Structure formats: C-alpha cells, structure tokens
Amino acid sequence: MKIIGIGRNYGAHAKELNNAIPDEPIVFMKPDTALVKGNKPFFYPDFSADVHHELEIVIKICRVGKNIAENFANRYFEELTVGIDFTARDIQQKSKEKGHPWETAKAFDNSAPVGIFVPKTDFPNVHNLHFGLNLNDKKVQSGDTSEMIFSFEYLIAYASRFFTLQMGDLIFTGTPAGVGPVKPGDHLVAEIEGRVLLDFEVK
C-alpha cells in the first residue's frame, strides 16, 4: 500500500506557514513503513529537533482506479479516520529553501499514525465533519472538512491521474491551522465529531 499526502489544503494553515494558497493540490508520498496503527507510540526521531503534529482526515481507498472521474470518486472510499502527518519542520524548511524534495521531512519511519477507520456512512455528511486534536488535554488543532480547498473527490480524481489507486491506499487530506511541535512524553488524542479514533504517546 502507499500513503498519499496533500499539502496546504486548508487556507488558514497555508497562511500560518506563510505559503500561498495552491491552485492545484500539492502531492507527496509516504511509504508503508511510515504507517503506525493500534495507538502504538511515536518514537521521536534523532534527526530532527522540531517534529510537528499535523492533524488530518485520512480516507482509505476501497477499489482499484486510474483516471477516476471526480463525479464517481465518492465510490472509491468507504471509510475514514484521523491521522497525524508528522513533519520534521526543520528539515522541511531547509528543503524548501533549497528547492529539494520533502521525503526526509515527511516520509520517515512511523511518520503516519492513523486511527480506527469508521464507515463514512456513520456521518450524515463527510463534507461537513468537525475534527480536532488534543495535546496533553489541551485543544491545539480543530478543523472542518467544509474548509478544504480541494474535496476528497477532487483529490482522488487528481491523484489517480498520476498514480493507480489500489485497495488499502491512504490519502492524508491536509491539515487545518494549529500545527506545532511535539516532545517525548506528549499525549495526543484526535477525534471526529467528538468520537475519539486515535490516542497515543510520544516517546
């Protein structure tokens, strides 16, 4: 399986990092070795001194598709959850300055914890989902899928022009504002519509 990440899909987050609003999705990938399931701890890596949490809605692809039309794209995901797109902000900043790729900042081992997947039919409208992250019992990020610049369906259609989507592939659909650093000992709890789906510690 592969993990597709989307950068700057919420306007307020693009602004907090002084980035322009994109006119096309910004796409990057993480390998399967980035995935962390089952609320296992995130081990702080030794190559960064500024790892940030990015809370994101994650959708799971449920059928194979290539060049998927946007108006059929809703058939390609049935489940979703929350995930953290851990980002080594210090490495990413250097990469941006040099125009280099983001992989070492974004795609490292264990950089993609995901919560329990739930059927999208559990919610009345996936385009109006409120979600949030608590860090040590303090709310640090919250967003609503109605604020996405590019919808789930647009992202599926767009990504499938370049990559064949396969069952089990994940799309991290971008973070709302409020990203910030984590440190060993931190406790992260993420929810959708008040339903806690991810709960883990940084070690």
For Zn ion, the binding residues (CB under 5 A) are 54, 85, 175
Give whichever of 73 and 171 is closer to Zn ion, judged by the CB atom.
171
Residue nearest Zn ion, Cβ-based: 85
Nearest-angstrom CA–CA distance, 175 and 9: 7
Residues in the chain: 203
In whole angstroms, the minimum distance from the beta carbon of 95 to Zn ion comes to 14
CB of 71 to Zn ion, least distance (A): 26
User: Least separation, in Å, of the C-beta of 167 and Zn ion?
Assistant: 23
d(CA 58, CA 63): 16
Q: How far is CA 161 from the centre of its chain?
A: 20
125 or 180, CB closer to Zn ion? 180
Which residues make Cβ contacts (< 8 Å) with residue 28, sequence separation at least 6? Answer: 4, 5, 7, 101, 102, 103, 106, 107
Which distant-in-sequence residues (6+ apart) come within 8 Å of 129 by Cβ? 57, 123, 144, 145, 192, 193
Please, what is the minimum distance in Å from the beta carbon of residue 75 to Zn ion?
Answer: 25
Nearest approach in angstroms of CB 69 to Zn ion is 26
Minimum distance, C-beta of residue 74 to Zn ion, in the bound complex (Å): 22
Residue 107 vs 121, nearer CB to Zn ion:
107
Question: By C-beta, is 54 or 191 nearer to Zn ion?
Answer: 54
The amino acid sitting at 35 is L
What DSSP designation does 148 have?
Answer: B
| Residue whose CB is less far from Zn ion, 54 or 169 | 54
User: From start to end of 42-194, where are the E strands?
Assistant: 51-53, 55-61, 77-84, 87-88, 112-113, 118-119, 130-135, 138-144, 170-172, 180-181, 187-192
For Zn ion, give the closer residue by CB, 75 or 197. Answer: 197
